[in-house]
Structure 1
């Protein structure tokens, strides 16, 4: 059995357990109503696995017609994938899994009445609510950086139109220019992603703009996978990428859009293209519903993923305080499955299963050089703790890394099929 096959079984195996968990409901008995807000990885997974029980009435609320995956979007920036290949609709969730998909925005949650208000004024009652709101940006922490500035100095941290803006800027940049990436403090969505972005843009520059440079203006003094990235930069892109940690420059304080400048605590950096990734917090609907604490994120029970602040509301994905679990797509998928089991047990009396929580991902350093991690977690002491970890090592052979890059493509296909049906 290949490594990828084991990962695929791990990813898809939840469906077998869900089938075993489904209880019998007598003909004519009303089905409990579960509403899921958010059609990203966490929300789509939760909706699919809840619907596959065939014992719940499941509604997914998502105003966008499709979802563009943030993971693998750095490959688009490097010209290695199309944006269409990263885009998934919700038709299969509706047609194959019987989920009611409502193409409207959720505007408010009444936790007491257990009602969701929708754009246009309609209201939807629920027995349980799953919220997967993703992230919002703390624009106020970087002077001069707001929605309008993000159209000129894109963050591209929600894949889609922003990714396209950044890609076009990189294509039009003159050779010899500077591409600056302002990386935020922890926690934020996908910890290795700014450094994968630097790697893959460097690959693009190496092919088409070899005199160009990349500056990483970091609000941290260390980052996820640092040894692996720095080793790869010295092998693939010597002299092209410069990482400047917080101890030298401080955090990003502001931007000047007209001159495409990033202002840190110690100095100002002018760039041809600036990718400013702001500090982050839970999606705004979670904040408005009283589901966030002083950190800006959502505390949850690590077994059921029910909010510790509001009853009958569960949260999964990037918005939660996940203990050791990173804010990643695979984490969201794993949390959503555990959450679905917990809701099924609560509403239908199906068996309770201890949560099996995982994170697994691939990170590209070059088109034929990728590294991987596989981590298992378990609830412990009211939080989520690491149980076992595997991560690629510096010094692995070129063949091993090529194999990882090849496996990543199969992983992406199996994973997205698991989520979107």
Structure 2
């Protein structure tokens, strides 16, 4: 039998087995393995452990001892937050009953239903939840590859890359040029690159006021564009230049060794370049053959269950689910829906109708933030938007200050909900 045919048969068998697994096997508790300890993975592992009340064994596979949040990392770059404040351990998950395995998932054996660990062991599962976050499309920016990330960092996976980019910003020569290559859609945290520019501009305004920032963007327009551009004019007038497709951004290449960017044939020397490339689902989802031609993992909107394997759920940034943006709040919301579906599969408990929500805050300057978000429900084969909200351009200072404080409160609350 051909390999492709065999894989197809495995996928069909697994997809049809969603309701076939009993809660116990010879007296043993059902097993759930979660891969990835970020907003989605840590949330779903802790939620299942708490809600199942001992009926299910839950294991989280995560190589890092502490998770560094990508959300709020821009405030660190702007000098408004410490790096340590972005880091969270897994002790709260352990207290909730989750077994945390400090390793990485090297492969998913879908036929035998087990996760193969990088250290050589394996973990059997009755249900598997993948929340590996994003990976990058290598070569999506001509002249740049992942091998060049130490020279032109992406800093879109928080941790060492965040520290590296901060060091480069701090070392920018007086009057120097910082360039950012913005990503094409879809990507993690749609306002994120532009909040980053705002925070870097805030830092440079105090330390290096003659510095310049160039944004090279493949998109015709970007999220919250008017709100960001109004803020750049108000707080950082003359510092930031945005270059979109009409001005040559589609004809772009970079030269990391020379620290140069070429825009429509015109070469510009820069002092620091932050390349945020095109994105796709975390590699383990691709290795498990759960992604499609888009690079993302398609899921059922009512449960976050993989379209390609009924025993596997994919949530957070890796999921191709519809209208929800890729954000920490989205991942947490999807985790709650997936947790209920997993518990329903393994215990027979009723599963409530799914409710999804998202909220994002973007800092423009100290004490000035804007927000956007919405609610969603399964419809037309996807998670569909049913209501949206967004900050308005004419809001007064008190409203913006309240939104800024709301963002700080949100970070404290959501990290407590995720990590315990």
Give the TM-score of the pair, scaled to structure 1. 0.91
Residues of 2 paired with 1:140 and 1:234: CA distance?
34
Residues of 1 paired with 2:231 and 2:382: CA distance?
34
Aligned pairs for 1:90-101 (under 5 A) are 90-94=90-94, 96-101=95-100
Does residue 1:74 correspond to 2:84, yes or no?
no
Closer, same or farther: CA 252–348 of 1 in aligned 2, 3 Å: farther
Does residue 1:84 correspond to 2:84, yes or no?
yes
Does residue 1:400 correspond to 2:399, yes or no?
yes
Does residue 1:295 correspond to 2:294, yes or no?
yes
CA positional deviation for 1:252: 6.2
Residue in structure 1 matched with residue 213 of structure 2 by the alignment? 214
Checking the alignment, whether the CA contact within 8 Å between 1:128 and 1:313 is kept in structure 2 is yes
Checking the alignment, whether the CA contact within 8 Å between 1:93 and 1:99 is kept in structure 2 is yes
Residue in structure 1 matched with residue 261 of structure 2 by the alignment? 262
Residue in structure 2 matched with residue 22 of structure 1 by the alignment? none
Residue in structure 2 matched with residue 36 of structure 1 by the alignment? 34
Aligned with 1:49 (options 47, 52, 58)? 47
Runs (4 or more) in structure 1 with deviation over 6 Å come to none
CA positional deviation for 1:148: 3.0
Deviations 1:191-249 (A, max 9, x none): 10110011111111111111011111001010011111011111111111111112211
Residue in structure 1 matched with residue 193 of structure 2 by the alignment? 194
Residue in structure 2 matched with residue 17 of structure 1 by the alignment? none
Residue in structure 2 matched with residue 61 of structure 1 by the alignment? 61
Checking the alignment, whether the CA contact within 8 Å between 1:33 and 1:56 is kept in structure 2 is yes
Deviations 1:325-360 (A, max 9, x none): 001111011001100011111110111111110001
Residue in structure 1 matched with residue 10 of structure 2 by the alignment? none
Residues of 1 paired with 2:366 and 2:316: CA distance?
28
CA positional deviation for 1:408: 1.0
Residues of 2 paired with 1:262 and 1:57: CA distance?
51
CA positional deviation for 1:184: 1.2
Residues of 1 paired with 2:196 and 2:380: CA distance?
36
Checking the alignment, whether the CA contact within 8 Å between 1:252 and 1:264 is kept in structure 2 is yes
Q: Which runs of 5+ in 1 are unaligned?
A: 1-24
Checking the alignment, whether the CA contact within 8 Å between 1:37 and 1:130 is kept in structure 2 is yes
Q: Across the two proteins, how many residue pairs are aligned to each other?
A: 395
Residues of 2 paired with 1:265 and 1:315: CA distance?
39
Residues of 2 paired with 1:310 and 1:246: CA distance?
39
What is the root-mean-square deviation of aligned Cα atoms in Å?
1.4
SS in 2 for 1:51: helix
SS in 2 for 1:140: coil
Residues of 2 paired with 1:301 and 1:189: CA distance?
20
Give the TM-score of the pair, scaled to structure 2. 0.92
CA positional deviation for 1:80: 1.0
